[in-house]
Structure 1
Amino acid sequence: MTKQIVLGAFEEFTPNFISNAWSHELSDTSAFATLPYWQEMARELDEGGFDFLFLAEAIGYPMREDGSVPEAVVREAVQIPVHDPMLLVSGLAASTERLGFVVTTSTTAHHPNLNARAFTTLDHLTNGRIAWNIVTSDNQTALTRLLGHQGVTPHDERYRRATEFLELSLKLWEGGWEDDAVVYDKATRTYADPSKVHRTTHHGEYFDLDGYFTAIPSPQRTPFLLQAGTSPAGRAFAGRFAECVFIQDRDLPSAAANVADLRAKARANGRDGDDLKVLVSASVVVGSTEEEAARLRASVDASVSRASAAALFLGWSGVDLMAFPLDATLQEVQTEIGQSMLGVFQRGDASPTVAEILDQLTTTIPGLRITGTPESCADRLQEIVEETDLDGFLVEHTHGGPGAYRAFIEHVVPLLRQRGLLPEEPRTGSMRRRVLGHDSDRLPPGHPGHAFRPW
């Protein structure tokens, strides 16, 4: 039986993301700061059968440990400008019928109470079409210099903080209000039954809270939980909490191993392994012929400079490639920032040189590359799913702008439907229903969130 996949579009609230090809002749991201720009994209994704729009986030821009900034960062718009994705979602939800939305926020940069309230608000406003992509913030230098944090937080400590952050969030979402707490009885002047609204008291290593959660329960209560990052600490965190994990492997055996390991970690935490879905990023270039697709791929690759690619890698990994000889490798390099990103290029004796890494980075940050006719692209996507047991793809735009996914929607999506990889009719309902395939909006049995209900 053919496995049905999930499709997301991979974006950031910036004129220049992932493909780094905003200067390509087909790109038009000049209006990225406006609502109509994103509404047009969201409507096209909605009508085209995508399950959700994934909005990444950058707390800051790429900078070195001393705070200096490569010139390419500002000149070529490498994570600057970048605007707040959370403020975009309600306008897009009102413009679409069924599209889901994934918003990224950081457990290192935010506070659980306000973050929980924001996601509950969006869950109400989208009628359950919201998900939280949980990150611990790779750009630690930006946190120090732009948000006043005291020094770099070690990688594994960030995950300890993230664990406490999420546990406190679950106390608020799952335990703050009982399902029938809101009475709305005018005759007795009772909006809510005080006996069914529970005080949350938490005094932990990183956070303190003593009081009531100020937002009423939303359709999902807890937003659908995604996570990016496959370091050992990240995998352990995902096995306990994540309902969906986003990986960036280009090597299919590595992707398959990641999928199996993540599901095994979920089962080790008493969860159903099928309640943890795994997606991979994929840059898909479609042409009417193989030659046309190859020419488009080459033109997109040629529009990216080494300097901008190195700057983006610096922001995501903390490693300044321009500080190394071109024939060096990163095998012995260590970082407290983006360990998953760095790990992609640490493969023992097979580790690529800095020159080879720069060449790869100018052809998109690591993720699968698929180039060809609609038929060959559909073939490759199907092969990837069959070889890895992946559950779907975060599709990267080929070039920037609202029409960036049009070729994929018009030419590849119909073939995926014909092959049974996508449903005949696009999925509807909450993010949890559409991604996990459950008949409930709420956290599935076995998820640790259930332990935070005191009632």
Structure 2
Amino acid sequence: MPQQIVLGAFEEFTPNFISNAWSHPLSDTAGFATLPYWQDMARQLEAGGFDFLFLAEAIGYPMKDDGSVPDAVLREAVQVPVHDPMTLVSGLAATVERLGFAVTASTTAQHPNLNARAFTSLDHLTDGRIAWNVVTSDNQQALTRLLGHTSITPHEQRYQRATEFLELSFKLWEGCWEDGAVLHDKATRTFADPARVHRVTHHGEHFDLDGYFTAIPSPQRTPFLLQAGTSPAGRAFAGRFAECVFIQDRDPAVQAANVADLRARAARHGRDPHDLKVVVSASVVVGSTEEEATRLRADLDATPSRESAAALFLGWSGVDLAGFGMDTTLADVQTEVGKSMLARFQDGNPTVGQILDRIATSITGMRITGTPESCADQIERTVTTTGLDGFLVEYTYGGMASYRGFIDHVVPILRRRGLLPAEPRTGSMRRRMLGHDSDRLPENHPGVAFRQW
């Protein structure tokens, strides 16, 4: 019996995401700011067998060191506009019964108490179908210029802050309210038993809190925890806390090495290594023939302008390619922004001109192109050779055109081959992702240690 995979859809509350191709003829993102646009997508993803809708976040936009932006950023909608993804979830949860939701929130931009309350509220409103994608925010220019931070935080220190952020969050989610503390007893006028609600005291390097968590325990208590990023600091953080990591590697050998490394790190923290799932993002283009699929991929790659490609790279890496000659390289460039992204374009020492030509084909994760059978073959081969647990299907054209061919033509094949369950998974995010019979954190997860009861 082949390993069954999980499926997520990789989106952002914006008209223009990873492929930078909102202007493609197949794109339909004009209604991106409206609830019906997302409700229709959620319904189709749920009917198509997806497990969750993943909502990325951007706290800023591509900007230069002086705060100015290339004209292409606004003209061609490169990482702007971006609306608040958390506001979508309750409306979508009321629209669909099974689909889960993963929402990105930054440990550098948010405050633990309010962030914890928001995710607890969404866990209640979704009946446990919520996950938090934990990020540390690469866009340091946005933090200083738009959010009032006084200085740029080095990469390693951002993960130190993130660790304290998570530990305080666990104190709130796991340690304040005991199971059974909420009585809702009208006869005695006792909503909660004070003896079973514990004061949380935290005085750390980055955060201070002394008081009670104001939200009652939700189905999962702690939302299911996702994380992206495979830098050394990111790996260490993931091994301790993450329940699912998504990667963007293309080489099967690198994918397999990342899967093995992440699970080994989880085991070193006393966790079950299989309680850390790894999924890869994948751009999927399906054609009725290989020739048609190749043509569709080429059309997609050719859609972004060079100017918008440079602006996208600026936003993802912090490096302004406009400041380099076309024949120079990035060999000696360093950044505190997208270290992993920059490294991908330093490999092989290409020129800036070559990088600009490659951005459309290189800034995404895996590229799966072909007939339905061929796409299914590529997916099956990847799972078999790497140990990956699933795929985060990327925004390509924009709107449901990104997923329609995959749902209609590839999913049925994956289901026939046993790579997808005959009936889509249900239950909380933690149950469906880990296969557990409980909504709560596994007992060997470090977050459980923060209970006071």
**TM class by smaller structure:** over 0.9
1:338 maps to what in 2? Answer: 338
Conserved in 1, the CA contact under 8 Å of 2:10 and 2:53?
A: yes
- 1:72 aligned partner, one-letter code: A
Provide the secondary structure at the position in 1 that maps to 2:146. helix
AA at the equivalent of 2:32: F
Partner amino acid for 2:235?
Answer: R
Root-mean-square deviation over aligned CA pairs: 1.1
Segments of 5+ residues of structure 2 without an aligned counterpart are none
2:396 and 2:114 mapped to 1: Cα distance?
35
Counterpart position of 1:155: 155
TM-score by length of 1: 0.98
Amino acid paired to 2:375: C
Query: Map of 1:56-95 to 2, 5 A cutoff?
Result: 56-95=56-95
Question: In the alignment, is the contact (CA less than 8 A) between 2:283 and 2:364 conserved in 1?
Answer: no
Choose which of 378, 384, 401 in structure 2 pairs with 1:386.
384
Counterparts of 1:45-444 in structure 2 under 5 Å? 45-347=45-347, 350-363=348-361, 365-444=363-442
Q: How many residues align?
A: 453
Distance 1:20 1:381 in 2: 24
Contact 2:18 2:396 in 1 (8 A): no
Q: TM-score w.r.t. structure 2 length?
A: 0.98
Work out whether residues 101 and 131 of structure 1, in 8 Å CA contact, stay in contact via their aligned partners in 2.
yes
Aligned-pair distance for 1:326? 2.5
In the alignment, the residues of structure 2 paired with residue 171 and residue 356 of structure 1 have an alpha-carbon distance, to the nearest angstrom, of: 49
Q: Which amino acid aligns with 2:136?
A: T
SS at match of 1:254: helix
Deviation at 1:316, TM superposition (A): 1.6
User: 1:419 corresponds to which letter in structure 2?
Assistant: R
Q: Which amino acid aligns with 1:183?
A: L
Stretches of structure 1 that go unaligned for 5 or more consecutive residues are none
CA shift, 1:307, in A, is 1.4
Instruction: Write the distance in 1 (CA, Å) between the matches of 2:184 and 2:423.
Output: 38
1:10, 1:55 within 8 Å by CA — same for their partners in 2? yes
CA shift for structure 1 position 397: 2.6
Give me the whole-angstrom Cα distance separating, in 1, the residues matched to 2:360 and 2:392. 19
The answer as to whether partners of 2:105 and 2:133 remain within 8 angstroms in 1 is yes
- Matching of residues 18-29 of structure 1 within 5 Å: 18-29=18-29
Query: Identity across aligned pairs (percent)?
Result: 77
Identify the residue that residue 447 of structure 1 maps to in structure 2.
445
Question: 1:158-182 CA distances to partner (integer Å, 9 max, x unpaired)?
Answer: 0000000000000000011001000
* Mapped partners of 1:360, 1:431: distance in 2: 36
One-letter amino acid of the structure 2 residue matched with residue 380 of structure 1: Q
Deviation digits for residues 92-122 of structure 1 (CA, Å, limit 9, x no counterpart): 0100010000000000000000000000000
- Contact 2:19–2:364 (Cα < 8 Å) also in 1: no
What CA distance in whole angstroms lies between the structure 2 residues aligned with 1:247 and 1:179?
36
Amino acid at match of 1:262: L
Deviation of 1:232 (Å): 0.4
The DSSP-based 3-state class of the residue aligned with 2:313 is helix
Residue by residue over 1:35-80, the C-alpha shift from the partner in whole angstroms, topping out at 9 and shown as x without a partner, is 0000000000001000000000000111011111111100000111
1:14 maps to a residue whose letter is T
